Amino acid sequence: MADVNNLEAVQENKEKSFDIKDFLINNMVTILFMILCIAGVYFSKLPMFFIVNEIMTRLTRNSFLVLALIIPVLAGMGLNFSITIGAMAAQISIIAVTHWQVQGIWGFLLCAVLTVPIAMLFGNLVGRLLNKTKGQEMIASMIAGFFANGLYQFLFLFLVGKIIPVNNPVLILDNGVGVRNTVDLSRNNGIKYVLDNIWKVPIFHFVIFTGLLIIAYGLYRMYRESKSKATKVSKAKYIIISIVGLVILAFGIVVNSSNELSQTLKMISNLKLSAGTGLVVLALCLFNVLIVKTKLGQDFRTVGQSKHIASVSGINVNKVRVIAITISTVLAGLGQLIFLQNIGTLNTYGSHVQIATFAIAAILVGGASVSKATIGQALLGVLLFHTLFIVSPKAAKELFGDAQIGEFFRSFLAYGVIGVSLGLHAWKKTLKAMRK
Residues at the interface with other proteins (CB under 8 A): 129, 132-136, 138-140, 142-144, 146-147, 149-151, 153-154, 157-158, 162, 175, 177-178, 307-308, 400-402, 404-405, 408-409, 411-416, 418-419, 422-423, 425-427, 429-430
- 230-266: b (≥16 Cβ within 10 Å) or e: ebeeeeebbeebbeebeebbeebeebeeeeeeeeeee
Shortest distance in whole angstroms from residue 410 CB to other proteins: 9
Closest to other proteins by CB, 143 or 271: 143
Distance CA 354, CA 300 (A): 27
Alpha carbons 265 and 248: distance in angstroms, whole number: 15
Q: How far is the CB of 426 from other proteins (least distance, A)?
A: 4
Between the alpha carbon of residue 401 and those of residues 17, 42, 44, 382, 404, the distances in Å are 47, 16, 11, 27, 9
Which is nearer to other proteins, 169 or 229 (by Cβ)?
A: 169
- Return the amino acid letter for 334: L
User: To the nearest whole angstrom, how small is the minimum distance from the Cβ of residue 424 to other proteins?
Assistant: 9
Neighbours of 186 (CB within 10 A): 11
Q: What is the CA radius of gyration of the chain?
A: 23
User: Residues near 40 by Cβ (< 8 Å), separated by ≥ 6?
Assistant: 387, 388, 391, 392, 395
Within 10 angstroms of residue 222's Cβ, the number of other Cβ atoms is: 18
Could you tell me the CA-to-CA distances from 435 to 353, 386, 410 in Å, in that order? 40, 39, 37
Residue 256: CB partners within 8 Å, gap ≥ 6?
202, 204, 205, 208, 269
Query: Which lies closer to other proteins via its Cβ, residue 209 or residue 408?
Result: 408
* Residue 301 CB, nearest approach to other proteins (Å): 18
In the bound state with other proteins, the residue whose beta carbon lies nearer, of 138 and 222, is: 138
Closer CB to other proteins, 100 or 146, in the complex = 146
3 state SS of 184? strand
Kindly state the smallest distance separating residue 14's Cβ from other proteins, in Å. Answer: 28
Q: Which is nearer to other proteins, 175 or 188 (CB)?
A: 175
Please, which residue, 239 or 424, has the CB nearer to other proteins?
424
CB of 408 to other proteins, least distance (A): 4
* Nearest of 237, 239, 265 to residue 252 by alpha carbon: 265
CB of 280 to other proteins, least distance (A): 31
Q: How far is the CB of 144 from other proteins (least distance, A)?
A: 6
Of 173 and 212, which has the nearer Cβ to other proteins?
Answer: 173
